[in-house]
Chain A
Amino acid sequence: MKAHLTIKTILAWTILLLSWSPQVVVSQVVETNKGEVEFTSHVPLHTFSGVSKELVGKIDFGTGTVDFYVDLSSLKTGIGKRDKDMRTTLEVDQYPFAEFFGSFTKPMNLDLTSDLAVEVKGDFSIHGVSKEVTITGTLKKKGLSWQLDASWSLLLSDYNIEPPKLLIMKVDEKQDIRISSLLSPESK
């Protein structure tokens, strides 16, 4: 009886400890909090971009999950007033993040040293609206880290965002998004 209890207790404690540190089981986790995200907007006769270098992201190769978010207040277009207009348009106080959570659509060979074409499918959320999207990109191994580059486009109307006006010119519905990030092994 005593032996039975001891084994059961050890098993319980082991599972509990493992559950506190799932990366022990799934070791291939890389992350960043300094990734770059850029959007490009078009208005007649003019194009402008907004950049943030505060993209936070995590890829778990063990479970195949991909999780990224950016604080929309960190996006800078180079003109303070325009940044303020953008925060107002996106209602940043109410919806502070643009985020993606999904998973790889296919298994990958992580031993490849060349660029690895990847595809993820999941929910992209902004302005309080989530939509399922499929995004393609590349992963490239750099030592213990992984360089991720991806781009896609979104329509503002899909996310209930009213395109802002620059004087009488309306910003185009379609926004081009690009992310670039070096993800390093998770610090324990």
Chain B
Amino acid sequence: MKSIVSKKRVFAKFILAMGFFVFVTSLAFGQMKRERTTKVDREIFLAGSIITLPSVTQLPASNLNFTIQHAFGPISDGFKELFGLDASSNIRFGLDYGVTDNISVGIGRSRFDKVYDARVKAKIATFGDAQPTVVSVFGNLGIDSQDNGADLSDRASSHISVLLARSINEKLSIQLSPAWSHFNTAKENIIFGGGIEKEENDLVSLGIATRYALNNQVSILAEYIPVVGSRSDGSEGAFSLGVDLEAGGHVFQIFLTSTQWIAPQYVVSKSRNNFFDGDFGFGFNIHRVF
């Protein structure tokens, strides 16, 4: 009996001591527990385009992005042509606007074939926190505005792509972009030395791209856009290798590329050079968000 009373007394003292301790500390250290309220998605790519491929990176709502994309002639032309800078170059000016955080629309104009384009990109889904996977769809409508007497419908082209991107870790990201490109008119081009090369109305491609972050500001980029199935005569899968530089609200992309085409359906159909044969030129993109 004595032992039970003694145990009860010890227990009561313990409860009393605990109570005082918790009570006093709760008054003395009344700070709330700090808890994160916002999750910031890890960036898979820094800009809306990788080099020529559209990326899953979405423009936030109400943000306006101005883009200059520039691709010069072949470096293999040598010093006489200042390594392609004297050659005819393609340039595209574009404006994109974030309608919501998940949908953006844009317009642009390229010098080659005087192509006006309108595009839309929508993020469909995001999976995972630490290693996010993003699924987006991208559509582009192009109109060739050359003064050649063609009907408007014959000038139209389109490109629809699913963008599947994943951040493998903090440094490495990859993207797959299966796409269907369509031209209302398949052109036939007379080539030097005789013969005709025929372009395709419909092309299927599988864009593959990667980004490797060297630090917060600088990344290495690579992309390859092989055509799967029938392709335009004489065309080659476009390959590009570049560097992403992020500074003060701008993203600068400096690259070597085997294509001078910029609108994605034109890249798929009309790129004629093989990067690994040394047929590539210098190019750059500048993205500025307002």
Contact = CB atoms under 8 A, between A and B. Distances in A.
B38 interface: yes
A56 to B, nearest CB: 7
A1 B5 contact: yes
Interface string B228-253: 00000000000000000010111100
Given A9-B8, A19-B22, A19-B23, A82 B216 contact: no
A99 interface: yes
A8 B37 CA distance: 44
B186 interface: no
B278 interface: no
Interface of A: 1, 5, 8-9, 11-20, 22, 26, 33, 54, 56, 58, 60, 63, 65, 67, 69-71, 73-74, 78-82, 84-85, 87-88, 92, 96-97, 99, 101, 165-167
A82 B246 CA distance: 11
Nearest to A8: B12
A19 B26 contact: yes
Q: State the 5 A-B residue pairs at the shortest beta-carbon distance, nearest first.
A: A19-B23, A16-B19, A15-B19, A80-B60, A12-B16
Nearest to B287: A81
Contact of B30 (A9, A63, A82, A85): A63
B9 interface: yes
Contacts of B30: 22, 60, 63, 65, 67
A8 B62 CA distance: 66
B214 interface: no
Given A63-B30, A67-B32, A74-B38, A16 B18 contact: yes
A84 B290 CA distance: 14
Contacts of A63: 27, 30
A80 B16 CA distance: 54
B22 A20 contact: yes
Contacts of A80: 59-60, 63, 289
B59 A9 contact: no
Nearest to A70: B37
A13 B18 CA distance: 10
Interface residues of B, number: 38
B34 interface: yes
Given A8-B16, A63-B30, A87-B40, 5 more contacts: A12-B15, A15-B19, A22-B26, A80-B59, A92-B40
B31 interface: yes
A71 B23 contact: no
Nearest to A20: B22
B57 to A, nearest CB: 9
Interface string B11-45: 01101101111110011001110111111100100
B290 A79 contact: yes
Which of the listed residues A19, A54, A92 has the most CB atoms from chain B within 10 Å of its own CB? A19
B26 A58 contact: no
B16 A5 contact: no
10 contacts: A8-B9, A12-B15, A14-B19, A19-B19, A73-B37, A79-B290, A80-B59, A82-B289, A85-B248, A166-B248
A166 B22 CA distance: 50
A56 B37 CA distance: 9
Contacts of A99: 34
Contact of B20 (A8, A15, A79, A97): A15
B19 A54 contact: no
B8 A5 contact: yes
A97 B176 CA distance: 37
